[in-house]
Amino acid sequence: MTLPRSLQGRLLVLVVGLVAAVWLGTAAMTWADVSHELDELLDSHLAQAAALLVVQQARAIDDDEDAIDAPTLHRYAPKVAFQVFHEGRLAMRSANAPAQPMFEPGEHLRTGFRTVQIDGVAWRVFAAHGGEGHVQVYVGEQVNSRDSILWAVLRSMLWPMVVALPLLTLAAWWAVYRGVAPLRRLGHTLAARQPQALAPVVVEGAPSEMAPMLDALNGLFTRIAELMETERRFTADAAHELRTPIAAIRSQAEVARGEADAAQRQHALDATIQGCDRASRLVEQLLTLSRLETGAAPAFAPVELSALVRRVVAELAPLALAKRQTIELDAPEPCSVPGDATLLAVLVRNLVDNAIRYSPPGSVVKVTLASRPGRALLKVDDSGPGMDAPDMARIGERFFRVIGSGQSGSGLGWSIVRRIAQVHGAAARVGRSDTLGGLGVAVEWPSTR
Amino acid sequence: MRILLVEDDPLLGDGLRAGLRQLGFLVDWVRDGEAAERELRAQPYAAAVLDLGLPLKGGIEVMASVRRAGVALPVLVLTARDAVPDRIRGLDAGADDYVVKPVDLHELAARLRALVRRAHGQPQECLSAHGVTLDPAARSVRQADGPVTLSAREFDLLHALILNAGRVLSREQLEQHLYSWGEEVESNAVEVHIHHLRRKLGAGLIQTVRGVGYVLPKDSAQP
């Protein structure tokens, strides 16, 4: 049997079904018990009656009268019959008793119970004998009379049930309805919510069974609210971050428009283009970050890290050379990590680009890729000014840039690096470079070989 | 009009400095909060353009600290933060105006002129004294018999004197109004410019207080 889908229906079916089952079970037990007791009682009555007849016969009937038909005295009487034989001859019988002994002739003169068929009707018969074996008495009773008594008993049990069950169903319905009211209230509360409402749900009089569900739900709401707050702040911060480059572009463009001096105008136009580059770099970083935050997990394939690092360093080397910096790469052996090649290139580019950007002209940038059993370690060290402890603690905050660095970075680079590392199960650490004294960044992967 | 620009973004700072110069301002540019505070305490700027997110010391802190030190110059806050609480915080900390980036350079200049004018108790855009009318926006000067052509320095000098009408300004004070950093100050530049102004506008307009400096007497017609 499939239960109804509503909790209310389910509880109702279970409660009413169980009550009915228990009731029926009780009725069955009562029936068995009553039928046993009834058999004993009625059998003892048969025995008693037979004994009376035997005694009476032994004393009173001496003459050889014809068999006497006893009158019917009670409406139950047709269901009861007796026969009295005296020295093998029928001396007395009830109106409904046959003339022949109720037992087989061969089994005369014995005492005991037996159920026999007489004219297709089942009889419970007690046979008794007495008076020095001259008197043989049979007392019988139709079996169906016992059944009707049993049914009467059972009916008296079942009738109240038939009446009570609908009432009980109604009562159970009401009780269950009251019981699941907090659930219904929760449903209404949730349905009436605005999509943006993320305050905890409070259900008046919620039972303790609902507490784990409510806690889980409210926990979820809290997490969603935090996520939305992060997103909101990110969007706001991103918009603010874009304002400064746009303001710079605008002011430089206005200067170029109003400038009579050709060299000055050229300077302003160059600065305008520089500002556009910066703004588009920022937008690109924002997009990368937002893809990382919301996108599905990237498909991983083995990536040859040393080749990738070499490519990125080659790409960025002109930048370092333009600042008269020395850039070195030490990646002696191939090193493969599972990952997304595009993202890993973004990570390496960010690290190397940052090192070049934030180190003064003439400094050294060193990129090292070391492969240990099961690990790959990428280190980017520079001989720049490094960072003090409070700055290092804040570096993960979006849009935090080390102020006074004189660089117009967005402060998003480290967020991107950390996020990509996280996606790849790699650990990214930033600290003081132990070899060059500037900033040292280390990213460690679990490698495939 | 000499103003202090406090902006840490190199590109924006460069653009604002160049733009405001085009519009006739003398601009000194500093890139961090500590330098801003130092300069604001030391120099008599007509106004300051202040970014809030500054290295070393935030703009709000700078403002609060110079206000405590009694520096009353008009401060225009130029920032990327546009939320109302940010604006309230900025104005409460002592800003006279609050402008959100990006800003039109002409609007910025107009706001600065308005701030300076109000700071000197001048209700009108044009300043006038003794029949001489000076228009800071157009950087033009008129007299009863028509426009007068002045050099940029002469204009700035006259502007400073008219704004401070009735107050004696020393030669050093006037130099500070005339030159931003990195500009060569000739030893007798102020005297030369005063001489030219007297020649163009009449000898009686600017009076010399011997051993102290120069003064443009308060116009009797003006309160």
Task: Give yes or no: residues A247 and A304 share one domain.
Answer: no
Whether residue B105 and residue A249 make contact (CB cut-off 8 A), yes or no, is: no
Task: Give yes or no: residues B140 and B204 share one domain.
Answer: yes
Task: Give yes or no: residues B189 and B105 share one domain.
Answer: no
Residue A205 domain flag: no
Domain that includes residue B105, residue range = 2-119
| Token couple for A1 | 């049997």
ipTM confidence score: 0.74
Task: Give yes or no: residues B159 and B102 share one domain.
Answer: no
Per-residue pLDDT tens over the stretch A50-59: 888 877 766 5
Distance from C-alpha of A414 to C-alpha of A122, rounded to nearest angstrom: 100
Distance from C-alpha of A178 to C-alpha of A174, rounded to nearest angstrom: 6
Whether residue B32 and residue A404 make contact (CB cut-off 8 A), yes or no, is: yes
Domain that includes residue A284, residue range = 210-289
Task: Give yes or no: residues A421 and A338 share one domain.
Answer: yes
Of B56, B86, B119, the one marking the end of a domain is B119
Chain B residues contacting A via beta carbons under 8 Å: 8-12, 14-16, 18-19, 22-23, 31-32, 53-56, 78, 80-82, 100-106
pLDDT > 90 in chain A, percent: 7
Of B84, B101, B119, the one marking the end of a domain is B119
**What CATH number corresponds to the domain at position B182?**
1.10.10.10
Task: Give yes or no: residues B115 and B132 share one domain.
Answer: no
How many Cα atoms occupy the beta-carbon half-sphere of B173 within 13 Å? 13
Task: Give yes or no: residues A219 and A363 share one domain.
Answer: no
| Token couple for A11 | 């509880």
Query: In a 3-state reduction of DSSP, which class is residue A90?
Result: strand
Task: Give yes or no: residues B133 and B113 share one domain.
Answer: no
Of A261, A289, A317, the one marking the end of a domain is A289
Residue A180 domain flag: no
Per-residue pLDDT tens over the stretch B194-219: 999 998 888 888 888 888 889 988 87
Query: In a 3-state reduction of DSSP, which class is residue B76?
Result: strand
Point out the least confidently predicted range of A247-261, A276-290, B12-26: A276-290
Whether residue A254 and residue B8 make contact (CB cut-off 8 A), yes or no, is: no
CB neighbours of residue B53 within 10 Å: 19
Residue B221 domain flag: no
Point out the least confidently predicted range of A79-88, A104-113, A322-331: A104-113
Of B96, B119, B142, the one marking the end of a domain is B119
Task: Give yes or no: residues A216 and A267 share one domain.
Answer: yes
What's the whole-number average pLDDT of chain A? 81
Instruction: Please determine, for residue B109, whether its predicted confidence score (pLDDT) is greater than 90.
Output: yes
Residue B132 domain flag: yes
Nearest CA in chain A to B81: A240
Find the CB nearest A404 among B53, B56, B78. Answer: B56
Distance from C-alpha of B142 to C-alpha of B135, rounded to nearest angstrom: 8
Strand partners, A327: A365
**What CATH number corresponds to the domain at position B113?**
3.40.50.2300
| A61: amino acid identity, one letter | I
Residue A188 domain flag: no
CA angle A111, A116, A119 (to 5 degrees): 135
Task: Give yes or no: residues A302 and A230 share one domain.
Answer: no
Task: Give yes or no: residues B65 and B90 share one domain.
Answer: yes
Instruction: Please determine, for residue A395, whether its predicted confidence score (pLDDT) is greater than 70.
Output: no
Q: Which residues of chain A neighbour B22 with C-beta distances below 8 Å? A: 255, 258-259
Residue A68 domain flag: yes
Whether residue A264 and residue B18 make contact (CB cut-off 8 A), yes or no, is: yes
Residue A11 binned pLDDT confidence (cut-offs 50, 70, 90):
confident
Whether residue A406 and residue B9 make contact (CB cut-off 8 A), yes or no, is: no
* A204 to A176, B94, B175: CA distances (angstroms): 18, 50, 76
Task: Give yes or no: residues A221 and A341 share one domain.
Answer: no
- Determine the pLDDT at residue A109: 54
Whether residue A255 and residue B104 make contact (CB cut-off 8 A), yes or no, is: no
Residue B49 domain flag: yes
Domain count of the fold of chain A: 3
Task: Give yes or no: residues B207 and B148 share one domain.
Answer: yes
How many Cα atoms occupy the beta-carbon half-sphere of A372 within 13 Å? 7
Find the CB nearest A408 among B10, B80, B103. Answer: B10
Nearest CA in chain A to B7: A244
**How many A×B Cβ pairs under 8 Å?**
88
Task: Give yes or no: residues A36 and A143 share one domain.
Answer: yes
**What CATH number corresponds to the domain at position A323?**
3.30.565.10
Task: Give yes or no: residues B160 and B105 share one domain.
Answer: no
Task: Give yes or no: residues A135 and A41 share one domain.
Answer: yes
Task: Give yes or no: residues A313 and A440 share one domain.
Answer: yes
| B173: amino acid identity, one letter | Q
Task: Give yes or no: residues A233 and A364 share one domain.
Answer: no
| A128: amino acid identity, one letter | A
Strands A336-339, A301-304: pairing is antiparallel
Residue A176 domain flag: no
Domain count of the fold of chain B: 2
Strand partners, A408: none
Instruction: Please determine, for residue A345, whether its predicted confidence score (pLDDT) is greater than 50.
Output: yes
Residue A179 domain flag: no
- Determine the pLDDT at residue A95: 77
Whether residue A251 and residue B81 make contact (CB cut-off 8 A), yes or no, is: no
